[in-house]
Amino acid sequence: MLLLIGIAVGTHGLGLLSPPVLSFLDPAMPVALVAIGVLIGLRARPRRADPRLLAAAQAQPLLTAALVFGGILFIAPGWGASAALPYWFLALVLAVSAASSSADYLLPIVLGGLALAMLREPSPAGALLLALQACGIAVVIAAAGWLLLTRSRSDTEQRVFAIAFLLLLGGASDYLGLSALFSGLVAGVLLEYAGGPARDYVRRDVLHVQHPLLVLVLVVTGARVEVTYAWLGLGAAYLALATAGRYAGGWIGERMAAADPRRDAVVPLLAPGLLGIAFALNVLRAAGPDAAPALAVVAFGAIGAEILMPLVRPVEARA
């Protein structure tokens, strides 16, 4: 619904969110993306589990990403719509976005960070080095934030330092054109393992602003979507590939874990995937207007998943 509202009031609708207004809102986007990554990082403490269960948990996102990447790479060149970005990168962005709708968010965020690094450094070694450098910057900022928050004495100081931490982390990621989600994840994991009051202050303040930021991300995404028949069609193909990958990956994961299929997965199989939308918006900010088709396809796929979800849930309940 928020995506549709964004489309309705955006540049292709009523024009309330015109390009000047969107440019005014742009500085808040990296902060919102970093906040999402930090929240996921703060919940990323690993639990002891059977290696078979850990492998089973990765089956769904990996198979979904592989199926979407191969399918989009095959059909996109002949779809009748030219992409300014290389088709392999478009397919990679859509694959990561589709995998982000799974229960395990960590792997898609890491893959997304590497994908954006590959846009800057085509060679695998260069991309990996760039991703490690981004990781190092996030660690330094998180350590500085932890020290400041640990020594803060009043609620006002704590909130100022926590928001400044998000602003600095988001600004650095945006300036470098790298993944704000990945930087936020690294910072969140570091704070989670460091522990202490600083972790609790950041969690409290990020949770306090998460809902307005998520609404902002979805509405701005909708306002930036370019509504064309070519990308609507590719969005439908993306939804079909992602759905098939999730069901196939879920089936394989259940067999690997020898689990009862009725013992539910953490998220619905057709979850719209807020993280995928956030990643596509992150790509748009890093790659510029050339990445607008990727954002449009992910948004159309999310809307289609939301429409299909009421139809699929009864079937899943009877399975």
Q: What is the CATH number of the domain that holds 313?
A: 1.20.1530
Q: Is residue 249 part of a domain?
A: yes
Q: Is residue 16 part of a domain?
A: no
What is the chain's pLDDT, residue by residue, as a tens digit (319 residues)?
A: 777 788 788 777 777 888 788 888 888 888 888 988 898 888 876 555 556 656 666 677 778 888 888 888 888 777 655 556 778 888 888 888 888 765 557 778 888 888 888 888 878 888 889 889 889 999 999 999 888 888 888 888 888 888 888 899 988 888 888 888 899 999 999 988 888 888 888 888 888 877 888 888 888 888 888 777 777 888 888 888 888 887 777 677 666 666 444 333 333 333 446 788 888 888 888 887 778 888 888 888 888 777 776 665 544 444 4
Residue with structure tokens 């769904």?
60
Alpha carbons 290 and 314: distance in angstroms, whole number? 40
User: Considering only CA atoms, which of 318, 316, 295, 259 is closest in space to residue 59?
Assistant: 259
Residue with structure tokens 């694959």?
95
Beta carbons within 10 angstroms of residue 310's beta carbon: 9
Q: Work out how many domains the chain is built from and give that number.
A: 1
Beta carbons within 10 angstroms of residue 309's beta carbon: 15
Domain that holds residue 60: 2-10+25-318
DSSP H helices in the chain: 2-9, 19-25, 28-41, 51-75, 87-99, 106-120, 124-151, 155-176, 180-194, 196-224, 229-257, 274-287, 292-318
Q: Is residue 38 part of a domain?
A: yes
Q: Is residue 19 part of a domain?
A: no
